[in-house]
């Protein structure tokens, strides 16, 4: 390592690898370049790496944001050839091999009064020799972008805090409501999409209503809340084997979730949702259905698929742009005739592979095609309930849940986060309580002042 640092100082013209995105793909790419004869710049618009598989637990008040997120520059603090930049990507200038960034934060908070004239804006572009795009995906609303505000999805920490706020506020508003129909509407929760995220959200919401909040209200019975999970295909957890997805559906039903499969949401409006011809009056609608790749791919000038993903070469290169690699949810690639799924393992392995291929290119070697190794799938439904599909092992129930717990604890970054999450889970498991039931951010109700303002 020291030897390399010397080398790097003597030869400033080492190739510059720019990585866009500090998620599973980008972070593993940066780590795979540790000690290599390249300079690395990792750019993300958040200062933290997010462990997305546990994000639904932030949205449902079990974990704190700090339990599932770690500062990217802290994770990479000892890797001397990496520089981390907090910035938003505005576009990519392929002719100049340059990433265009937002103009930076020099004006910062002060700009709210008046911008100080003497401050020079920081450089708003970064040149690269190699580029790894790992900017992931956002929600997609089946051609109805207007549903986005009404039916928030779960991709970022701020999404999770918004959902937590909205769910807790629905119970609070119901406690104040005197009209029975309005109360019922406030206590109806619709989750659209029966994949792992939708199943996990529905299970956690059912537990909040039936267990965590049971003693807390005087005018309402939280356990009377109605929780619907809507899935367009015939099954929830459609990618799992038949017996596991049936077990998951049965677990959800036992928790009191109404599982509606083979039916699609045709409207989301102020009142609630429409499923086929049925109107469901619901205050809270959560979106766990479609995703679309990050728009960064658009500035490459190459054809994209319907979900906005970049069709990659087997080497993860972008066709016609040999210096540019795509990994994770923004990358469309087939293996054995099937599209690679949008899961953490595909992103992680892809990031590592792209990094290795760049080092091969630096050394003048030929690049290798990417082979994804599927280690299996896990989904949890609630306290002590999960399904696990790991090679020959296909189990549901408590044992699957233990596997799920250990895999997730083990995958978290940082010893302290592992301890914190483990002790939160031990606490929730034994008391059925959720410690992080805080309504923060934004205004209390529409039309009222910001909650965070001076006392009123």
- Give dist(CA 247, CA 366) in Å, integer: 47
Q: How far is the CB of 108 from a second copy (least distance, A)?
A: 5
- Note whether 306 binds a second copy by CB under 8 A: no
249 exposure class (CB count in 10 Å sphere: 0-12, 13-18, 19+)? buried
| Segment 264-267 long-range contacts (CB within 8 Å, at least 24 positions apart) | 264/230, 264/232, 265/190, 265/192, 265/230, 265/289
Q: How far is the CB of 214 from a second copy (least distance, A)?
A: 9
Q: Which is nearer to a second copy, 127 or 158 (CB)?
A: 158
- Listed ranges 8-16, 177-185, 232-240, 379-387: which one lies at the site for a second copy (CB under 8 A): 177-185
Name residue, tokens 């083990």.
Answer: 410
- Note whether 313 binds a second copy by CB under 8 A: no
Q: Which is nearer to a second copy, 27 or 388 (CB)?
A: 27
- Note whether 283 binds a second copy by CB under 8 A: yes
The footprint of a second copy on residues 319-378 (CB under 8 A) is none
Q: How far is the CB of 266 from a second copy (least distance, A)?
A: 16
Q: Which is nearer to a second copy, 284 or 357 (CB)?
A: 284
Q: How far is the CB of 445 from a second copy (least distance, A)?
A: 4
Q: How far is the CB of 119 from a second copy (least distance, A)?
A: 5
Find the binder of a second copy among 48, 128, 240, 325 (CB under 8 A).
48
The footprint of a second copy on residues 402-441 (CB under 8 A) is 414, 416-417, 419-420, 423-424, 427, 431, 433, 435-441
- Note whether 35 binds a second copy by CB under 8 A: no
Concerning whether 177 is annotated as a catalytic residue, the answer is: no
Q: How far is the CB of 325 from a second copy (least distance, A)?
A: 18
- Give dist(CA 282, CA 156) in Å, integer: 24
328 exposure class (CB count in 10 Å sphere: 0-12, 13-18, 19+)? buried
- Note whether 89 binds a second copy by CB under 8 A: yes
Name residue, tokens 């911008």.
Answer: 115
- Listed ranges 209-217, 232-240, 251-259, 355-363: which one lies at the site for a second copy (CB under 8 A): 209-217
- Give dist(CA 201, CA 370) in Å, integer: 33
Q: How far is the CB of 178 from a second copy (least distance, A)?
A: 6
> Measured between alpha carbons, how far apart are the two ends of the chain, in Å?
58
273 forms beta bridges with: 268, 280
- Listed ranges 196-204, 241-249, 267-275, 342-350: which one lies at the site for a second copy (CB under 8 A): 267-275
The footprint of a second copy on residues 105-134 (CB under 8 A) is 105-116, 118-120, 122-123
Give, for 59, the enclosing helix (H) or strand (E). helix 55-59
Q: Which is nearer to a second copy, 66 or 322 (CB)?
A: 66
Q: How far is the CB of 440 from a second copy (least distance, A)?
A: 5
- Note whether 267 binds a second copy by CB under 8 A: no
The footprint of a second copy on residues 219-238 (CB under 8 A) is 219
Scanning 139-258, the segments in alpha helix (DSSP H) are 157-176, 180-186, 196-207, 242-254
As given in the structure block, the two tokens for residue 318 are 């972008």
- Note whether 300 binds a second copy by CB under 8 A: no
> Cα 232 to chain center, whole Å?
22
- Give dist(CA 455, CA 449) in Å, integer: 10
Tell me how far CA of residue 45 lies from CA of 53, 79, 134, 163, 179, in angstroms. Answer: 20, 20, 12, 21, 44
110 exposure class (CB count in 10 Å sphere: 0-12, 13-18, 19+)? exposed
The footprint of a second copy on residues 144-163 (CB under 8 A) is 146, 148-150, 155-159, 161-162
Query: CA 69, 71, 74, 79 torsion: positive or negative?
Result: positive
Tell me the per-residue interface mask from 181 to 200 with a second copy, x by CB under 8 A, - otherwise. Answer: xx--xx--------------
As given in the structure block, the two tokens for residue 315 are 């080497």
Q: How far is the CB of 276 from a second copy (least distance, A)?
A: 21
- Report helix, strand and coil shares of the chain as percent, to nearest 5: 35, 25, 40
- Listed ranges 166-174, 339-347, 351-359, 366-374: which one lies at the site for a second copy (CB under 8 A): 166-174
- Give dist(CA 305, CA 308) in Å, integer: 5
- Note whether 1 binds a second copy by CB under 8 A: no
- Listed ranges 80-88, 244-252, 299-307, 366-374: which one lies at the site for a second copy (CB under 8 A): 80-88
Set 107, 118, 146, 200: catalytic member: 200
- Note whether 4 binds a second copy by CB under 8 A: no
Q: Is 35 left (phi over 0), alpha (psi -120 to 50) or beta?
A: left
Find the binder of a second copy among 12, 95, 215, 363 (CB under 8 A).
215
- Listed ranges 29-37, 100-108, 235-243, 374-382: which one lies at the site for a second copy (CB under 8 A): 100-108
Find the binder of a second copy among 54, 87, 206, 265 (CB under 8 A).
87
**Could you tell me if 126 and 39 are in contact, meaning their C-beta atoms sit under 8 angstroms apart?**
no
**Could you tell me if 61 and 164 are in contact, meaning their C-beta atoms sit under 8 angstroms apart?**
yes
- Residues with a catalytic annotation lie at 200
């Amino acid at each position: 390592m020291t030897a390399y640092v010397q080398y790097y100082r003597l030869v400033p013209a080492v190739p510059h690898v720019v990585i866009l995105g500090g998620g599973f793909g980008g972070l593993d790419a940066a780590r795979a370049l540790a000690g290599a004869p390249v300079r690395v710049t990792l750019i993300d618009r958040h200062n933290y790496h997010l462990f997305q598989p546990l994000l639904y637990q932030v949205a449902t008040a079990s974990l704190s944001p700090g339990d599932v997120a770690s500062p990217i520059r802290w994770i990479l603090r000892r890797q001397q050839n990496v520089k981390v930049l907090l910035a938003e990507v505005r576009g990519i200038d392929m002719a100049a091999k340059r990433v265009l960034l937002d103009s930076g934060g020099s004006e910062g908070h002060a700009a709210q009064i008046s911008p100080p004239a003497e401050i020079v804006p920081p450089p708003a572009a970064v040149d690269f020799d190699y580029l790894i795009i790992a900017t992931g995906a956002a929600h997609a609303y089946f051609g109805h972008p207007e549903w986005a505000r009404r039916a928030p999805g779960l991709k970022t920490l701020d999404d999770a805090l918004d959902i937590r706020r909205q769910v807790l506020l629905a119970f609070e508003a119901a406690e104040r409501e005197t009209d029975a129909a309005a109360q019922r509407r406030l206590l109806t929760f619709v989750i659209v999409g029966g994949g792992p995220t939708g199943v996990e959200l529905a299970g956690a919401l059912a537990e909040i209503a039936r267990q965590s909040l049971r003693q807390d209200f005087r005018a309402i019975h939280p356990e009377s809340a109605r929780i619907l999970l809507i899935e367009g295909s015939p099954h929830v957890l459609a990618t799992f084997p038949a017996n596991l997805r049936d077990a998951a559906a049965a677990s959800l039903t036992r928790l009191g979730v109404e599982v509606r499969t083979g039916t699609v949401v045709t409207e989301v409006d102020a009142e609630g949702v429409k499923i086929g011809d049925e109107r469901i009056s619901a205050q809270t609608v959560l979106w766990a259905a479609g995703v679309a790749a990050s728009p960064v791919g658009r500035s490459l000038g190459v054809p994209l698929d319907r979900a906005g993903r970049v069709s990659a070469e087997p080497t993860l290169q972008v066709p016609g742009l040999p210096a540019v690699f795509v990994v994770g949810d923004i990358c469309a690639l087939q293996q054995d005739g099937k599209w690679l799924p949008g899961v953490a393992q595909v992103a992680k392995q892809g990031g590592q592979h792209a990094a290795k291929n760049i080092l091969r290119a630096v050394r003048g070697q030929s690049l290798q095609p990417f082979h994804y190794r599927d280690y299996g799938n896990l989904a949890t439904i609630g306290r002590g309930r999960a399904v696990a599909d790991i090679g020959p092992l296909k189990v549901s129930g408590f044992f699957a849940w233990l596997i799920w717990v250990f895999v997730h604890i083990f995958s978290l970054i940082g010893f302290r986060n592992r301890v914190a999450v483990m002790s939160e889970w031990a606490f929730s498991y034994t008391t059925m309580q959720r410690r992080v039931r805080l309504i923060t951010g934004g205004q209390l109700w529409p039309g009222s002042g910001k909650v965070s303002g001076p006392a009123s």
